[in-house]
Amino acid sequence: MGLTGLSLGGIIAVIGGLALGMIIGAIVISILISALFLYLGCRLVKIYNATFVNAIITVIGGGILVFVVNAVFAEITTVALTMYPSIPVFLGIQILNLIVSVLAYVWTIKVVFNTTWWEAFLALIASAIVGILGTIAICVVLYIVAGVSLLI
């Protein structure tokens, strides 16, 4: 059948639907990969009630919370730079934004996994290390597979 019976608007709707599906799929895959790294980081720190579902909840909740914190600090930056346009003011606000964002994410880990601040912070650091090492491992495997496929 194909797309022969569709008008231009129908074709645009199909392409838009495919694009929306790809965007949603990419978001879901990125949440699952981030949750996997967080779950492995929590297991390394020996947080005993760490489950993959809790990691998914933490990634989504922490992402929303950090988004809100960044939006608030973007507004603070805009107001502060209109009153005091200087680089030290901008850098100071951005450093404070980074600290508050990390604390907000650590708080999310602390609440969802029912753990201490220290264990939550260590889990965040461990998940970052696991994420970096996992990404390097995936790149090495893809490099080897691509190199072998060129030889065949």
pLDDT tens digit string along 24-65? Answer: 999 999 999 999 999 999 999 999 889 999 999 999 999 999
C-alpha–C-alpha distance, residues 4 and 102, integer Å:
52
What is the tens place of the pLDDT at every residue in 71-102? 999 988 888 888 888 888 888 888 999 999 99
Amino acid of residue 23: I
pTM of the model: 0.80
Nearest CA among 53, 35, 97 for reference residue 72: 97
Q: Which residues contact 28 (CB under 8 A, 6 or more apart)?
A: none
pLDDT of residue 131: 93
DSSP state of 49: T
C-alpha–C-alpha distance, residues 60 and 30, integer Å:
11
Note whether 43 and 50 are within 8 A (CB). Answer: yes
Confidence of residue 21 (pLDDT cuts 50, 70, 90): confident
Q: What is the pLDDT averaged over residues 106-118? A: 95
Q: Which residues contact 138 (CB under 8 A, 6 or more apart)?
A: none
